[in-house]
């Protein structure tokens, strides 16, 4: 894993949960626009330092994501770094309590939400235990619910902008990751007449994918000839090598931190592959959560705001084209200007 070179954030707090013994890193990248927001990830890492690094990188991406989405927030992230050698799931309730305590210790400068390894129910528990700084509790409990549908909707808006003025019908699309967001994207693409090929590390999901009408593969979809590649699994999919071998014309998906480093964006640009940065494409979840829970939007207003990701996408692609920038450089410039 690449180490973060310079510390550009505001706060990095690492604690060992007193109940779970798990290392928890809470990173606040920026509160310049408002309280930091970003998901809470529970995942195994080779070491706690890798978990802290992930929190730093992901929190910086959240700052850009919030700015590009026009939200009054900055970026943060929480990572619970489970030991790589395994962990007793019976300790999970203790870990959630440890997470609540770690987040509450920041006194409201950071609010969390669901991410890889956490659910709306976990957010409800965090909310119940400490001060309520968690988005996306179940709707019955006053939250805005899981953000998966909103995230998928935003990715589809970005994808549509990326193929514009063409249509999705007939396109060959490869989706990597058949989790909660990946499967909703597959479903919508199939409904719109795309040919969808899916892969996931969990082969047990194959029947579900096939029932939707997708084709299952164990091939490396990055290398397959595709119109669109949708990264919907964990980050770091695109390295200098995989970008050099990438067979897609357009890459757009909900996974966070898709490129291993910024040189990858240059490789993609030079090869004529359009990469819509994850900070643009994956904003549907936070737009929905903040819109519903803080900005007083109803469902229709939140959806309209999510659909506007298409306009942000077009603006980023146009800016990159005009200035000869990579799409991530273009996104950064627009984020700073907004
Ligand atoms: N996974 C989402 C993100 O980090 C989590 C989130 C949703 C955070 C809603 C805050 C509000 O983008």
Mean pLDDT of 184-202: 97
Distance from C-alpha of 229 to C-alpha of 174, rounded to nearest angstrom: 5
Tens of pLDDT, residue by residue over 230-286, are 999 976 799 999 999 999 999 999 998 899 999 999 999 999 999 999 999 999 999
Nearest atom of ligand 1 to the alpha carbon of 58: 4
pLDDT of res. 234? 79
Nearest atom of ligand 1 to the alpha carbon of 115: 1
Pocket (CB within 6 angstroms of ligand 1): 37-39, 62, 113-115, 135-136, 147, 285-286, 289
Is residue 303 a part of any domain in this protein? no
- Domain shared by 132 and 152, yes or no: no
Is residue 98 a part of any domain in this protein? yes
Its pTM stands at 0.95
Q: Could you give the number of structural domains in the chain?
A: 2
- Domain shared by 195 and 163, yes or no: yes
Active site includes 65? Answer: no
Percent of the chain with pLDDT over 70: 98
Q: How many angstroms separate the Cα of 228 from the Cα of each of 38, 139, 215, 275?
A: 27, 34, 15, 10
Q: Is the pLDDT higher at 302 or at 8?
A: 302
Cα of 54 from ligand 1 centre, angstroms: 15
Residue 222 belongs to domain spanning = 148-282+311-337
Cα of 284 from ligand 1 centre, angstroms: 9
**CATH code (residue 11):** 3.40.50.10860
pLDDT-derived band at 216 (thresholds 50, 70, 90) equals very high
Tens of pLDDT, residue by residue over 75-122, are 999 999 999 998 999 999 999 999 999 999 999 999 999 998 999 999
In the predicted structure, residue 4 carries a pLDDT above the cut 80: no
Listed residues 120, 141, 162: the one ending a domain: 141
- Domain shared by 198 and 258, yes or no: yes
Please give the helix or strand (H or E) that residue 210 lies within, else none. helix 206-212
Is residue 300 a part of any domain in this protein? no
Cα of 270 from ligand 1 centre, angstroms: 32
Is residue 298 a part of any domain in this protein? no
- Domain shared by 258 and 200, yes or no: yes
pLDDT of res. 28? 98
Distance from C-alpha of 82 to C-alpha of 74, rounded to nearest angstrom: 26
CA angle 310, 315, 319 (to 5 degrees): 150
- Domain shared by 277 and 161, yes or no: yes
DSSP 72-88: S-EEEEEEEEEETT---
pLDDT-derived band at 3 (thresholds 50, 70, 90) equals low
**CATH code (residue 235):** 3.40.50.720
Which is nearest to 247 in space by CA: 196, 313, 172? Answer: 172
Q: Of all protein residues, whose CA lies closest to atom 10 belonging to ligand 1?
A: 113
Task: Choose the catalytic residue: 57, 77, 292, 305.
Answer: 77
């Amino acid at each position: 894993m690449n180490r973060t070179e310079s510390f550009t954030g505001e706060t990095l707090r690492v604690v060992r949960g007193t109940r779970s013994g798990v290392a928890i890193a809470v990173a606040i990248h920026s509160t310049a626009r408002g309280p930091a927001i970003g998901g809470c990830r529970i995942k195994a890492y080779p070491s706690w330092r890798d978990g802290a690094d992930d929190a730093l990188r992901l929190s910086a991406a959240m700052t850009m994501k919030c700015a590009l989405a026009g939200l009054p927030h900055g970026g943060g992230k929480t990572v619970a770094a489970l030991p790589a050698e395994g962990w007793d799931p019976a300790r999970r309730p203790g870990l959630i309590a440890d997470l609540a305590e770690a987040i509450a210790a920041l006194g409201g400068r950071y609010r969390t939400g669901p991410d890889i390894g956490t659910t709306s129910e976990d957010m409800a528990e965090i909310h119940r235990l400490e001060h309520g700084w968690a988005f996306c509790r179940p709707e019955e409990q006053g939250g805005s619910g899981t953000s998966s549908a909103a995230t998928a909707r935003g990715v589809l808006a970005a994808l549509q902008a990326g193929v514009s003025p063409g249509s999705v019908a007939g396109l060959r699309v490869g989706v990597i990751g058949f989790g909660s967001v990946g499967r909703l994207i597959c479903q919508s693409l199939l409904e719109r007449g795309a040919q969808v090929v899916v892969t996931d590390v969990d082969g047990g999901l194959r029947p579900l994918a096939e029932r939707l009408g997708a084709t299952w593969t164990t091939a490396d979809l990055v290398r397959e000839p595709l119109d669109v590649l949708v990264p919907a699994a964990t980050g770091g999919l695109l390295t200098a090598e995989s970008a050099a071998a990438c067979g897609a014309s357009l890459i757009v998906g909900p996974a966070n931190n898709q490129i291993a480093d910024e040189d990858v964006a240059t490789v993609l640009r030079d090869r004529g592959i359009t990469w819509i940065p994850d900070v643009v494409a994956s904003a549907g979840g936070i737009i929905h959560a903040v819109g519903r829970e803080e900005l007083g939007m109803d469902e229709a207003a939140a959806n309209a705001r999510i659909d506007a990701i298409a306009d942000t996408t077009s603006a980023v692609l146009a800016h990159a084209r005009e200035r000869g920038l990579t799409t991530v450089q273009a996104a950064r410039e627009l984020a700073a200007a907004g």
